Amino acid sequence: MSANLFALYRTRVVEALARIVPELPPEVAARVEVTPTRDPAHGDMATNAALLAAKPARRRPAELAAELAALLSGADGIESAVPAGPGFVNLTLSPATLRAVLPAVLAAGEAYGDSAVGAGIAVNVEYVSANPTGPMHVGHCRGAVVGDALANLLARAGYAVTKEYYVNDAGAQVAALAWVVYWRYLELLGTPMTEAEFETLVPGGALQYRGDYLLPIAGILHDAHGAGLADAERRPLPPAVWFERVRGLALDSLLGQIRDDLARLGVRHDVFTSESAILAAGAADAAIGRLDQAGLLYEGVLEPPKGKQATDWEARPQTLFRATAFGDDVDRPLRKADGSNTYFANDIGYHGDKIARGADVLIDVLGADHGGYVARMRAAVQAIAPAYAAAGTVAFEAVLCQIVHVIKDGAPMRMSKRAGTFVTLRDLLDEVGRDAVRFTMLTRKPDAQMEFDLDLAVAQTRDNPVFYVQYAHARCRSVLRAAAAMPELGDLSPAALAEAPLDALQADAELALVRRLGHWPRLLEGAAQAREPHRIAFHLNDLAGDFHMLWNRGRDDATLRFLQADAVSATRARLALVAATAMVIRSGLGVLGVTPVEEMR
């Protein structure tokens, strides 16, 4: 039997519908849904089959629903099927069918609910990709958590997932970084030069990245080279002497910090791809060549941008990619005024590289400030896919993560990189811990702005979902530990509990929990297909709610308590329920990257 009850009964419904309406078009059959009911009074599941079939069959929905219900009433495991509302058919499963969810969970363990919808599809999820010019802050953190959970989720749905980090180590920002670090180094040596004087040497004429976090790097530079990177008067040497060393050391150091931050956050990428390595391998030029061969490049002049001060605007011909042929608003430049590649050109090369490595689907998890970038990248991926992919097409998807506002003591914390008051990821982790950061970041759709309430994230109360879900798991484990100390209950291994008779599970609160466990496979698959890991977080919150409710019922009604020494069979049935609940919570927390704690003390 399929572990996914909804998928199973969907096929039954479609078969039954095909007998009533043999000429049903396949595209209509494909839209048939069997969904959990919102109202328990409507049974366990409902289908819209009759509503969909009514039009092509030229029949009244209610009439079809009645026939469908009659046909399904005899079906295996269905206790009743009744037409309802405008043409739904509500299905109520037999208690035995419902309870059979428990042995299914116990047998599969944390793999319960895993799906094969993604089988044979390689997905590359690129996330974080913070520039190695400073420490990670909360803005990066959301993308890190969302990308990581999304990648985990897709893996559970059968996709072959690569978690990737793109290291932007080739651009002007990294050059600027090297100049600042070098200046800090000179300062450390006690250079007689003034900062203003030094800045006249800097390309662009000004130092960037003034944060204190660069001071230790200057220190490392000093440890490694002593005064050897300056002249005898502690004044700068030509860049040819020091630039590559300083740049390399700064990059290593900052990337090391980022990796360390990510490790603390529990994020681990499979692949770190270096932009400079990609460029050195000629990926960008190769991609540009492919676009040229395909006739998608031309020399042209763009309109000046609207709504922005166009004071320094100068119309000039440049190499443009015909992005408008693939749905973008304007064609996009690939070369700067000095003839070097734009970032976009390099990024096309990088995406080509990901495709060449075998990805069928590219997912970029980006900050909201990259929203304007999506259309052109999608256009570029479509344009180069025929040259890079065996199948000739590659899907490009972007998940945009909106701004996170950190709230403390009820007031938003101002964040400014320039003023050095932004909240670093490390500060956030120190303040609230990994689990709270990860779970909280996933309790909101990524494409909506979110407020991160520091006080709530650490609160040990009902309204903190992290706590609430972890507490439910801890309670389950606590019950199982207590049961293990009762020898009269016999073998309590999952395999043994999977064989336990379950007839004793009769109470509404018990069956509600069983139902919720039965929803898990459908939810996991749907969340993966929609690329929405936050659904997992909400489902776990609901599941925890069902469990806590049952637990609390035991307070008023002693017959509902899990452990009863004088009712061994009923206790074993309830332990099957508790063990299955713990497994699903653990499984879901695994997707989110949150620890399933054993106890809350």
Partner RNA sequence: GCGCCCUUAGCUCAGUCGGAUAGAGCAACAGCCUUCUAAGCUGUGGGUCGGUGGUUCGAAUCCACCAGGGCGCGCCA
| Exposed/middle/buried for residue 98 (C-beta within 10 Å: 0-12, 13-18, 19+) | buried
SS3 531: coil
Is residue 25 at the binding interface for RNA, with CB under 7 A as the rule? no
User: Which one of residues 137, 290, 515, 534 is an interface residue with RNA (CB under 7 A)?
Assistant: 534
What distances in angstroms separate CA 207 from CA 173, 210, 318, one per listed residue?
11, 8, 30
Stretch in the footprint of RNA (CB under 7 A) among 119-127, 242-250, 287-295, 364-372: 364-372
Q: How far apart are alpha carbons 107 and 118 in whole angstroms?
A: 23
Nearby residues of 523 by Cβ (< 8 Å), 6 or more positions away: 113, 535, 536, 539
- Which residues touch 489 (CB under 8 Å, ≥6 apart)? 483, 568, 571, 572, 575
Determine if 145 is a binding residue for RNA (CB under 7 A): no
**Taking CB under 7 A as the rule, which mask of x and - marks residues 382-401 in contact with RNA?**
------------------x-
Task: Tell me the pairing of strands 122-126 and 160-167.
Answer: parallel
Among 28, 70, 84, 121, binds RNA (CB under 7 A): 84
Nearest approach in angstroms of CB 513 to RNA is 13
Instruction: Give yes or no for residue 27 binding RNA (CB under 7 A).
Output: no
Among 2, 11, 19, 55, binds RNA (CB under 7 A): 55
Per-position DSSP letters for 300-323, written without gaps between them:
E-PPPPSSS--TT-----EEEE-G
Which of 599, 533, 598, 516 lies closest to 36 in space, CA to CA? 516
38 binds RNA per the rule CB under 7 A: yes
Nearer to RNA, 86 or 109 (CB): 86
* Binding status of residue 149 toward RNA by CB under 7 A: no
CB 283 within 8 A of CB 350: yes
Amino acid at residue number 448: A
Task: For residue 131, state whether it binds RNA (rule: CB under 7 A).
Answer: yes
Decide: is 321 part of the binding site for RNA (CB under 7 A): no
If binding means CB under 7 A, how many residues of this protein chain bind RNA? 105
State in angstroms the smallest separation of the CB of 366 from RNA: 9
Cα–Cα distance for residue pair 571/77, rounded to 1 Å: 25
Query: According to the binding rule CB under 7 A, does residue 305 interact with RNA?
Result: yes
End-to-end, the C-alpha distance of the chain in Å comes to 40
Closer residue to RNA in complex, CB, 234/405: 405
Residue 313 amino acid letter:
W
Judged by CB under 7 A, the residue of 2, 15, 18, 85 near RNA is 85
- Which residues 6+ apart lie within 8 Å of 56 measured at CB? 21, 23, 24, 25, 28
Here the contacts of 71-76 (C-beta below 8 Å, separation 24 or greater) are 71/16, 71/19, 71/20, 72/12, 72/13, 72/16, 75/12, 75/16
Residue 417 binds RNA, judged by CB under 7 A: no
Question: Residue 66 or residue 160: which is nearer to RNA going by CB?
Answer: 66
Contact 467, 460 (CB under 8 A): yes
The residue among 295 and 307 lying less far from RNA, judged by its C-beta, is 307
Which is nearer to RNA, 230 or 363 (by Cβ)?
363
Q: How far apart are CA 518 and CA 103, in angstroms?
A: 11
Site string for RNA, 421-440 (x = CB under 7 A): --------------------
DSSP letter string, 133-189? TS--BHHHHHHHHHHHHHHHHHHHTT-EEEEEEEE--SSHHHHHHHHHHHHHHHHHH
Nearer to RNA, 68 or 523 (CB): 523
In the bound complex, what is the minimum distance in angstroms from residue 345's beta carbon to RNA?
9
Q: Is 37 in the site for RNA (CB under 7 A)?
A: yes
Choose, by CB under 7 A, the member of 222, 225, 245, 561 that binds RNA.
Answer: 561
Q: Choose, by CB under 7 A, the member of 197, 270, 369, 503 that binds RNA.
A: 369
Among 143, 147, 545, 588, binds RNA (CB under 7 A): 545
Residue 549 as a binder of RNA (CB under 7 A): the answer is yes
| Residue 9 interacting with RNA (CB under 7 A) | no
User: What minimum distance in Å lies between the beta carbon of 468 and RNA?
Assistant: 8
By the rule CB under 7 A, 411 interacts with RNA: no
Closer by beta carbon to RNA, 491 or else 542: 542
Is residue 535 within the footprint of RNA (CB under 7 A)? yes
Contacts with RNA in 192-251 (CB under 7 A)?
Answer: none
Contact predicate 574/497, CB 8 Å: no
Q: Which of residues 474-503 bind RNA (CB under 7 A)?
A: 474-475, 478-479, 482
The residue (of 31 and 197) whose beta carbon lies closer to RNA is 31
CB 94, min distance to RNA, A: 18
- Nearest approach, Cβ of residue 551 and RNA (Å): 4
Smallest distance from RNA to CB 23, Å: 18
CB of 142 to RNA, least distance (A): 12
Instruction: Please give the DSSP secondary-structure letter assigned to residue 414.
Output: P
Helix residue spans in 453-561 (DSSP H): 454-458, 465-484, 494-497, 508-530, 534-556
Residue 58 touching RNA (CB under 7 A): no
